[in-house]
Copies of this chain bind each other. A is one copy, B any other.
Amino acid sequence: MSELPIVAVNYKAYPTAFGAKGLEIAKEADRIAKEFKGSVKIVLAVPLTEIYRISSSTEEVTVYAQHADPIEPGAHTGFTPLEAIKEAGAKGVLLNHSEHKLILSDIVWLVEKAKKLNLETMVCADNYEAAAAIAALSPSYIAVEPPELIGTGIPVSKAKPEVIVKSVEAVHRIAKIPVLAGAGITKGEDVEAAIRLGSVGVLVASAVMKASNPGAKIRELVEAAARAWSARK
């Protein structure tokens, strides 16, 4: 079991993900992370091109890459090995997002290599069957997101609570890996519901990246995570 609840923000390639805007969101998140230090873990999965800028301007948030390629450093043009994201300051990597699906054997390879490099892995699954398969590979986290709800604002915790419950069960039958819930999460109450259903937190994207006030939105989600986590213990 994870020791802390998690709010993970996937920047994706939204216009707000890059340059000054992406940096400002990261700095806001970092202030909140410091405030909630010891009670909520905040993960920011940022664009490859922004890892260095964001990781060198923040201290408490955990910066992830949104992807890495299954290659060793060497003659690979335009590909990004795990060593590259580590050098740029990332502490982990999101893998197999439904917008960036991976070949099974590449997930195996990347999870194993990431362990050697001391990088966290959060591997996404579309459904509980895929979540169970991924559990056999022992990543740091598994994030379950029914793709049909991503970006809709209809929270998985309300529309398909059984996906969270069945995924947590299926994963834990194989290994004790913390499961996050994602897709359609937009409010504090969605986070609370997701944690009550057995997850350790949420993976969100548009709710923060398209918010008029991204910092306030992160704060709302983080407060809810802290609240639900205390209630649960």
Contact = CB atoms under 8 A, between A and B. Distances in A.
Interface of A: 10, 12-15, 17-19, 45, 47-53, 65-67, 71, 73-81, 83-85, 87-88, 94, 96-108, 112, 125-127, 129-130, 132-137, 150-151, 170, 174, 205-206
Contacts of A151: 75
Contacts of A83: 15, 18
B84 A99 contact: no
A96 B13 CA distance: 22
A89 to B, nearest CB: 9
B103 A103 contact: yes
A112 B128 CA distance: 13
Nearest to A99: B77
Contacts of A45: 77
Contacts of A132: 136-137
Nearest to A56: B53
A67 B125 CA distance: 23
Given A13-B71, A80-B48, A84-B13, A101 B98 contact: no
Nearest to A147: B105
Given A18-B83, A80-B49, A102 B104 contact: yes
